[in-house]
Amino acid sequence: MTDPLLERDFAAAPLALVAEAAGPYLDSLATRPVVDPEAAKLIADLAGPLPEVGQGGSPVIERLLTVGTAAATASSGPRFFHFVTGGATPAALAADWTAAMLDQNAFARVSSAFAHEVETIALDWLRQLFGLPQGWGGALVGSATFANFTSLGCATNWWAERHGVDVASRGLAGLPRMPVLSSGYVHSSARKALQMLGHGKDCVEVFQRDAVGRIDLAALERRLTETQHAVIIANAGEVNAGDFDPIADIAVLAERHGAWLHIDGAFGLFAALSPRTAHLTAGVERADSIAADGHKWLNVPYESGFALIREPERLGRAFGMPGAAYLPGPQDPGGGYGLLGPESSRRSRALPIWATLAAYGRAGHRAMVERHLDLAQRLTRLVEAAPDLELLADTQLCVVCFRAAPPGVPDKDLDELNRKLGAALLADGRVYAGTTVYGGVVALRPAIVNWRTTGSDVDAFVDVVRELAAQLG
Ligand SMILES: Cc1ncc(COP(=O)(O)O)c(C=O)c1O
């Protein structure tokens, strides 16, 4: 095959192969190992020199499916507890396929009025889901890293404006350093966003009162009294144990001292969905910007993040495109979200967000969050009951922080044991979780945010951890 035009009349044939493979693959997620080290060898079948003459769509998709369904990491399955990794609800997954099939450019109304309008609906539904006031706007982006970037880009615009500078035109040259203040919970992606924005990853001043990273509010306030126009990053859900900065208290300080308040709520923002955890996010409505992910606790496929902004017009000021004669300008009715966020041409990532919220509603997503809260408590109880495991933090949300501590193993050897345990878990592949350092000690930190996860997956996780720890101990 040398030209896709030859396939025009049966363009849907490769898609039918994907649809056929989807059922068995998705059904297998309940029982398949997260990683099958043997299957990884198959990936070599896709290598070789660039073909001069191609095989055509259907044979190639067959090859890709054979390798992919065997060698893919089952990270959308129920026993992948590493990082903070959601699955894809049935409606979200189908809508993602629809987005690929329709292949819209969600740059602007003129490129796709459909994509633009669905994005407007999806953003407003997200605003409502998290109980934010009317008038907030936002941008759909590829990840929470980019949501932090978008939010802190707006903050930079605000801060420079206070120095009389339009930073979108002039850049940072000649300006002092932007003061950025946070707790020890600040996520590395917020630093990465600051690094991409030209402030540098080291610009964050951290105010923490303990080894875990909990905020020192008094020190933060002292610093705010000596600074003008600071940007505060408050953390709603830190990765090691799912803890929160006291957002309402920080909001009071931000208002008192005229600071921009940004919330990194990549997954923790979803605590707002349940009355059981809504107290953790109280005060987010007083922020200036919020970053979160769709591909974590909303359970839509990668890549899905969103920034929610109190003054949506900031997005245009920070991310409007320098004019080009062939493109719509800022006030043009043909304009759209490509002028209100970091990307220009972009896929219609609103579709899976719209679909999962339309399919399962607020109640369905609350039920999912609450199931995960219950599962995290179940895991916590199993850890507490096991003589060879030690819980390291209270479980407030969906992350359980613990380590193996078999009787008789001296404290000084536990870090090495847990590092080996983390590596053994990944090599074993039946269940999946990684290690971190929490309060100075090496720990496991499984996160439960996948709609498919049930009690038996959590039980299997603990069984495998104890089995491997016993082998290592
Ligand atoms: C608190 C927090 N912020 C930001 C991120 C970055 O998310 P992403 O990988 O989607 O960019 C994460 C990822 O785990 C996170 O936990």
How much is the pLDDT for 96? 98
User: Helix H segments across 262-349?
Assistant: 278-281, 313-319
Nearest 5°: CA angle at 368, between 443 and 277? 65
How much is the pLDDT for 467? 98
- Three-class SS of residue 419? helix
Whether 445 and 436 have beta carbons less than 8 Å apart is answered as yes
**83 CA to centre of ligand 1 in angstroms:** 9
The CA distances from residue 54 to 59, 60, 166, in Å, are 10, 9, 51
For the range 269-273, what are the long-range contacts, defined as Cβ-Cβ under 8 Å and sequence gap of 24 or more?
A: 269/130, 269/236, 269/237, 270/296, 270/297, 270/298, 270/365, 270/369, 271/236, 271/237, 271/244, 271/369, 271/397, 272/129, 272/130, 272/131, 273/129, 273/130, 273/362, 273/365, 273/366, 273/369
Whose tokens are 């996160």? That residue is 447
Backbone angles phi, psi at 438, to 5 degrees: -120, 120
Q: Closest Cα to atom 12, ligand 1: which residue?
A: 266
**141 CA to centre of ligand 1 in angstroms:** 13
How much is the pLDDT for 329? 82
**458 CA to centre of ligand 1 in angstroms:** 23
How much is the pLDDT for 206? 98
Whether 308 and 127 have beta carbons less than 8 Å apart is answered as yes
- Three-class SS of residue 260? strand
Q: Closest Cα to atom 16, ligand 1: which residue?
A: 239
Any ligand 1 atom below 6 A from CB of 239: yes
Q: Closest Cα to atom 14, ligand 1: which residue?
A: 84
**266 CA to centre of ligand 1 in angstroms:** 5
User: Can you read off the two tokens belonging to residue 188?
Assistant: 């590395």
Candidate from 281, 293, 398 with most ligand 1 atoms within 8 A of CB, to mutate? 293
The amino acid at residue 314 is R
Any ligand 1 atom below 6 A from CB of 152: no
Any ligand 1 atom below 6 A from CB of 145: yes
Any ligand 1 atom below 6 A from CB of 264: yes
How much is the pLDDT for 251? 98
Candidate from 145, 191, 245, 449 with most ligand 1 atoms within 8 A of CB, to mutate? 145
Whose tokens are 């920070």? That residue is 318
**177 CA to centre of ligand 1 in angstroms:** 25
**471 CA to centre of ligand 1 in angstroms:** 33
Average pLDDT along the chain, 473 residues, taken 10 residues at a time: 92 97 98 93 97 96 98 98 98 98 97 98 98 98 98 98 97 98 98 98 98 98 97 98 98 98 98 98 98 98 98 96 87 92 97 98 98 98 98 98 97 98 97 97 98 98 98 90
Any ligand 1 atom below 6 A from CB of 143: yes
User: Helix H segments across 403-450?
Assistant: 414-428
**58 CA to centre of ligand 1 in angstroms:** 36
Q: Which residues pair with 7 in a beta bridge?
A: none
Candidate from 186, 194, 239, 269 with most ligand 1 atoms within 8 A of CB, to mutate? 239
Cα atoms found within 13 Å of the Cα of residue 385, Cβ hemisphere only: 9
Q: Which of 472, 457, 465 is nearest to 435 (CA)?
A: 465
User: Helix H segments across 54-143?
Assistant: 57-71, 90-102, 113-129
Whether 168 and 197 have beta carbons less than 8 Å apart is answered as no
The amino acid at residue 161 is E
What single-letter DSSP state applies at residue 143? S
